[in-house]
Amino acid sequence: MNMPADAYLDNASYIDHKYPDGREIRDSLITDIGTELDRSKERFVTHHRRSGDPVPIWAAVEVLSFGTVSKMYGLLDDRAVRTGVSKSFGLPNPQFTASVIRSLVVLRNICAHHARLWNRVPDVPTPVLNRYKTSDPQMYQTATPWSWFVMLAHLVDTIRRDDLYSTELWGHINAQPTLLSGYKNPRHS
């Protein structure tokens, strides 16, 4: 599951998909990565740039946008690496993981722009793990804010290796019945 620390800068690391106009998506991705690294004023990035060394992936992800990281994962050609990332988050496969990440990019952007989540139908729905699905269809519909919360709670709990985040999140949401309704049963877009 290992790749060189600078493999993310190599076109060959990504699947060769094209936009409808014929341009290669991976070329745009590499350009975006370079632009975002060039724009960074972080000392750890400028250190590598000044020394002429490529910025290693573990440093680059600190300054790359979440959208760019999502595209990197979605286009990554090395299935073993994508599968390893999926398993590390407790997700079933790379396609599922790519869908979750892409949807969370949308959630992040909504929050960053102070837009509302309540009663919102997500433009990019997030899949939900089967173990979180119940007989109540609204509990796991992918076209609800609730699915964002379910998967975000899963990811944070998995990374932290405890359930403190989800316990506090569900406690907050359950204390607000009007919020709960708008998260599980959005009526507006």
- For 2-58, write each residue's pLDDT tens digit: 789 999 999 999 998 888 898 889 999 999 999 999 999 999 999 998 999 999 999
With respect to residue 88, please indicate whether it lies within any of the assigned structural domains.
Answer: no
CA 94 – CA 11 distance, rounded (Å): 20
With respect to residue 73, please indicate whether it lies within any of the assigned structural domains.
Answer: yes
Question: In this structure, are residues 75 and 14 in contact, taking their beta carbons and an 8 Å threshold?
Answer: yes
State residue 187 phi and psi, 5-degree precision.
-110, -5
With respect to residue 165, please indicate whether it lies within any of the assigned structural domains.
Answer: yes
Is the pLDDT at 140 greater than 70? The verdict is no
**How many domains are contained in the chain?**
2
Together in a domain, 99 and 178: yes
Residue scoring higher pLDDT (141 or 43): 43
Q: What is the mean pLDDT of residues 90-113?
A: 96
CA 103 – CA 117 distance, rounded (Å): 13
| Chosen domain end from 77, 108, 128 | 77
With respect to residue 84, please indicate whether it lies within any of the assigned structural domains.
Answer: no
With respect to residue 85, please indicate whether it lies within any of the assigned structural domains.
Answer: no
Distant-in-sequence, close-in-space partners of 136: CB < 8 Å, separation ≥ 6: none
Together in a domain, 133 and 59: no
Bridge partners of 14? 76
Give percent of the chain with pLDDT exceeding 70.
95
Together in a domain, 105 and 53: no
Whole-number pLDDT of residue 18: 87
CA 51 – CA 69 distance, rounded (Å): 24
Question: In this structure, are residues 142 and 164 in contact, taking their beta carbons and an 8 Å threshold?
Answer: no
Query: pLDDT tier at 139 (50, 70, 90 boundaries)?
Result: low
Q: What is the mean pLDDT of residues 55-81?
A: 96
CA 82 – CA 98 distance, rounded (Å): 9
* Domain ranges, residue 19: 7-77
